[in-house]
C-alpha cells in the first residue's frame, strides 16, 4: 500500500529532455513527454491537490526524488476510505493497464485511511494535524496537508526501455460518494539500462 501511495504522491513538472550518448560519448538531448497532473474530480470535490512537483524529471530508477505537494480536504476523512488506483504504461504508442499484483499496480483498496495517516507520519515523523493518537490513526481532520520535500528513494523497476511513460488515476471514495480524483502523467528513466548501454 505504501508503495502505491508513494507513487501517487511521488510523481512530478516541466518539458525536459533525456540524455542520449553518441558514439563520441558527448551528450545530446531527446525530448520526452512532460510531466502533468490534473484534479479530475467534480468542482465541489472535498479533496483537491493544490500543488504537486517532482524533481528530477524524468524520475530516475533507481534514485532519489523530491516530491513536495499540498493537498486540502474540506471534510474529515473517516474510515473506511476506499481508494481506486488505475496505473497504465505506454507500449508502442498504446496505453496498457498494469494489473494489481501484491497490492501494486491497478488496485482497489477498500479502506486506505489508516495507511495514508501512517504514510504521512513515516515521511514527516509526525502525526497529521489534529491526530494525536499513537500510533497515528484515522480520522484525518479537514485542512491543508503539506507533503515534505524530503528525498524519497525510487527502487530499480527493471524496465526494459531506457525511458518509459506512465499515467495513473487515483479516486478517493466510491461511485456513491467520490471525494477526490487525480490524474498524473510521468516518465521514468532506467539508470541501470542507461549505464549498461553506455558501456
Confidence label for 182 from pLDDT (cuts 50, 70 and 90): very high
- What is the count of structural domains for the chain? 1
Partner residues linked to 166 by β-bridges: 89, 186
Question: pTM to 2 decimals?
Answer: 0.74
DSSP 23: T
Domain that holds residue 153: 2-198
Tally Cβ neighbours within 10 Å of residue 84. Answer: 19
- CA dihedral (80, 54, 11, 20) in degrees, to 10, reads -170
DSSP string, 101-112: BTTBSB-EES--
Q: Backbone dihedral region of 19: left (phi > 0), alpha (psi from -120 to 50 degrees) or beta?
A: beta
Nearest to 88 by CA among 22, 12, 7: 7
Q: Which residue has the cell 548501454?
A: 197
pLDDT in tens, 23-52: 223 333 334 467 899 999 999 999 999 999
Nearest to 4 by CA among 100, 121, 144: 100
DSSP 130: T
CB 182 within 8 A of CB 93: no
Task: Flag whether pLDDT at 56 surpasses 80.
Answer: yes
pLDDT in tens, 107-123: 999 999 888 887 777 66
d(CA 143, CA 22) in angstroms, rounded, equals: 51
Q: Which CATH number fits the domain that encloses residue 156?
A: 2.70.220.10
Amino acid at each position: 500500500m505504501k508503495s502505491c501511495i508513494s507513487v501517487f504522491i511521488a510523481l512530478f513538472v516541466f518539458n525536459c529532455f533525456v540524455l542520449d550518448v553518441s558514439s563520441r560519448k558527448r551528450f545530446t538531448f531527446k525530448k520526452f513527454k512532460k510531466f502533468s497532473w490534473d484534479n479530475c474530480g467534480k468542482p465541489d470535490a472535498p479533496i483537491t491537490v493544490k500543488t504537486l512537483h517532482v524533481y528530477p524529471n524524468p524520475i530516475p530508477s533507481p534514485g532519489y526524488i523530491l516530491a513536495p505537494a499540498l493537498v486540502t480536504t474540506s471534510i474529515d476523512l473517516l474510515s473506511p476510505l476506499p481508494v481506486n488506483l488505475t496505473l497504465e504504461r505506454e507500449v508502442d504508442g498504446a496505453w496498457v493497464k498494469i494489473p494489481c499484483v501484491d497490492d501494486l499496480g491497478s488496485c482497489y483498496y477498500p479502506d486506505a485511511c489508516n495507511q495514508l495517516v501512517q504514510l504521512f507520519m513515516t515521511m514527516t515523523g509526525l502525526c497529521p494535524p489534529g491526530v494525536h493518537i499513537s500510533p497515528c490513526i484515522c480520522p484525518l481532520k479537514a485542512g491543508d496537508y503539506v507533503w515534505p520535500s524530503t528525498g524519497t528513494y525510487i527502487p530499480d523497476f527493471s524496465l526494459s526501455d531506457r525511458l518509459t511513460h506512465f499515467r495513473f488515476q487515483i479516486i478517493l471514495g466510491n461511485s456513491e460518494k467520490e471525494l477526490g480524483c487525480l490524474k498524473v502523467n510521468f516518465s521514468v528513466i532506467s539508470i541501470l539500462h542507461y549505464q549498461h548501454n553506455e558501456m
